[in-house]
Amino acid sequence: MEVLMEFDTTTSTTTMEKRHRHHLEKVQWLRCSVQNYDWGQKGRDSRVAKLFALNSGSQIDPERPFAEFWMGTHESGPSFLVRNEETTNGHLSFEPESESLKSWISNNPNVLGEKVVQKWGADLPFLFKVLSVAKALSIQAHPDKELAKTLHKLLPSIYKDDNHKPEMALAITQFEALCGFISLQELKSVVLNVPEIVELVGSSEANQVLEISDQDGEEKVKSVLRSTFTKLMSASQEMIVEVTSKMKNRLHLESQVRQLTEKERLVLELEKQYPADIGVISAFFFNYVKLNPGEALYLGANEPHAYLFGECIECMATSDNVVRAGLTPKHRDVNTLCSMLTYKQGFPEILQGVPLNPYVRRYLPPFDEFEVDSCNLPQQESTVFPAIPGPSILLVTLGEGIMHNTSCPRGDVIIEGDVLFVPANTEISITSASGLQLYRAGVNSRFFQAS
């Protein structure tokens, strides 16, 4: 087992003296959950592991993957209120009998603000996460509300809630993903240049793709794409094994006489991670997206995607519903996935964030449930998070600072790994003691403007 001190979680005496929890009556410190999915980055390489260790005082197993750090009320990874105690390293202790954030909110719904309760009831409408991705996640989509209700009713052990799950990934490092279907022109080029796809879907299906044009109308194009993609995803395992092997050998041979495309190199990498998996070949159908740090990608319901590599902040509606069909050892539901997708084509919109002031950028996806602010505060600089009509969760990912609000003018120290629940109508100001980086998730501000 790795000891926590590997992560240099020491805190100065002055910090220790200031870290009292009774000052900020309104703001709640949280102890949050971790998910050890096998695609996560291992031990000390993982930002998720580091934040979880700092947040909970846990020890880190260097051989274990740490995939997702969850902050919110979803029962698959709940957060708990931290009582007014500390451990010797300045981080908060956690008593097992601590109340969950979900239970505390349901007993104090006023912390959400009136409009949020009216729309979503006495629960947080968003789930906030950090992801550390070492290898590809499954090719997947998230159901809309109607489909989520049906799936939850039919298969509650797999689809664990009845909510939709629009989401947004904000890159911390360079972050790679497959997302949405490529354009019709690109699809034609794939059918012409990847003979293995023709072998899997059949030549009459392939010819339909080559013969159709944008003039035939959006619905006809979608219908051909749906039919081709469904045929590909429904191929027999025997065919997939044979054709994937053929493709791998062909690309290795061709790489000796020409430079492989980015997508071809990616497909070979995916094949190493998930041999003989239909997800490897289906990657040719999707846009290959590379985000730089500070860029964000959002995904609506019924849009296919797979995160591939890197670390990101993620926010979504409070749900864990995933319909998978490739690049996974988990349950696959190919029929549901192929029938639910929108089959919208073209490169996704990349959000750069809107500057609110010199230190804070806001990422506003087209969903009511959430928005994310990114804050980089140089030493000795201050910023204010104004009182808003809904709740927020703050995550400190780097550095140390002092947080003030009206109930605590003296301030309270916040440090890396701290997660705070800020109730509706609570203004807080933060001053950086060293380079401070934090992220805030809250209900989308457009929701309050519209209502």
Binding residues for Zn(2+): 140, 142, 167, 305
Cβ-proximal residues to 2 (8 Å cutoff; 6+ apart), any chain: 43, 44, 59, 60, 61, 62
Q: Is 332 annotated as catalytic?
A: no
Which of 324, 332, 361, 440 does the annotation list as catalytic?
324
Q: How far apart are CA 319 and CA 248, in angstroms?
A: 37
Cβ atoms of residues 31 and 83 within 8 Å? no
Q: How far apart are CA 134 and CA 307, in angstroms?
A: 10
The structure tokens 């807080």 sit at: 428
Closest CA to 66 of 154, 153, 150, 133: 133
The structure tokens 């035939």 sit at: 216
- How far CA 360 is from CA of 384, 417, 430, 434, in Å, comes to 10, 19, 12, 17
The structure tokens 């998070």 sit at: 385
Percent helix, strand, coil in the chain, to 5, is 35, 30, 40
350 alpha carbon, distance to own chain's centre: 15
Q: Which residue positions form the known binding site?
A: 140, 142, 167, 305
DSSP 8-state symbol, 327: S
Cβ atoms of residues 324 and 139 within 8 Å? yes
Structure tokens at 222: 């979608």
Strand partners, 248: none
DSSP-derived pairing of the beta strands 167-171 and 80-81: unpaired
The H-or-E segment that residue 191 falls in is helix 184-193
User: Which three-class secondary structure state does DSSP give residue 214?
Assistant: helix
Complete DSSP assignment for 134-160: SSPPPEEE---HHHHHHHHHH-TTTS-
Cβ atoms of residues 431 and 382 within 8 Å? yes
Cβ atoms of residues 24 and 17 within 8 Å? no
Q: Which residues are known catalytic residues?
A: 324
